[in-house]
Amino acid sequence: MNAKLCAAQPFRHRLEAETPIYEAVIEHSPHVDVVIPPRANAIENEKAAPMRNRNLQEIKANGRMAWQKNRQYGRRNLSELAMLRYQKILGDSMHARDFGRQKQEAMIGCGVLNKMTSLGMPASYRSA
């Protein structure tokens, strides 16, 4: 009997841990579309957030890649890539101490990155 109870607890904990994220985002900004990819082994649950269940239904109907394309999930990757590019080229931290100068440093850094990207970006393509 104890073994069955222990086996069921991780699933219950996983479900409870995933849903509050949706609820917190919706509570903060009720008009947003929550685009959080559910886990591969996630299942629908009436206690879970409606947007989570909607995402699961769309993934089940169209596939994960089509869901990402329809929900413009790649836009998140572009912003993460921009921050990675900034940090790799200009460093992980600001050099100025004063907040006003930090803003100026960030503006100069963005100008440098914009100039570099205007000169040309590498041709990237998916392989295999």
**Backbone dihedral region for residue 34 (phi beyond 0: left; psi -120 to 50: alpha; all else: beta):** beta
Output the pLDDT for position 18. 54
Output the pLDDT for position 2. 45
> Are 50 and 17 contained in the same domain?
yes
Q: Is 18 helix (H, G, I), strand (E, B) or coil?
A: helix
* 125 within some domain: no
Is residue 13's pLDDT more than 50? no
> Are 41 and 80 contained in the same domain?
no
Q: Is the dihedral of CA 90, 95, 99, 104 positive or negative?
A: negative
* 128 within some domain: no
* 127 within some domain: no
* 82 within some domain: yes
> Are 27 and 57 contained in the same domain?
yes
The answer to whether the CB of 52 falls within 8 A of the CB of 22 is yes
Q: What DSSP string runs through 89-104?
A: HH-SS-S--SHHHHHH
CA–CA distance, 89 with 73 (Å, rounded to integer): 25
- Over residues 58-100, the pLDDT tens digits come to 999 999 999 999 988 888 788 888 888 889 988 888 889 999 9
Is residue 121's pLDDT more than 70? yes
Output the pLDDT for position 1. 45
Give 38's DSSP letter: P
Is residue 4's pLDDT more than 50? no
* 124 within some domain: no
Output the pLDDT for position 38. 85
Is residue 117's pLDDT more than 60? yes
Domain count, the chain: 2
Instruction: Report residue 24's pLDDT band, with 50, 70 and 90 as the boundaries.
Output: confident
Give 97's DSSP letter: -
Domain housing 101:
74-119
> Are 15 and 48 contained in the same domain?
yes
CA–CA distance, 94 with 105 (Å, rounded to integer): 7
Q: Which distant-in-sequence residues (6+ apart) come within 8 Å of 100 by Cβ?
A: none
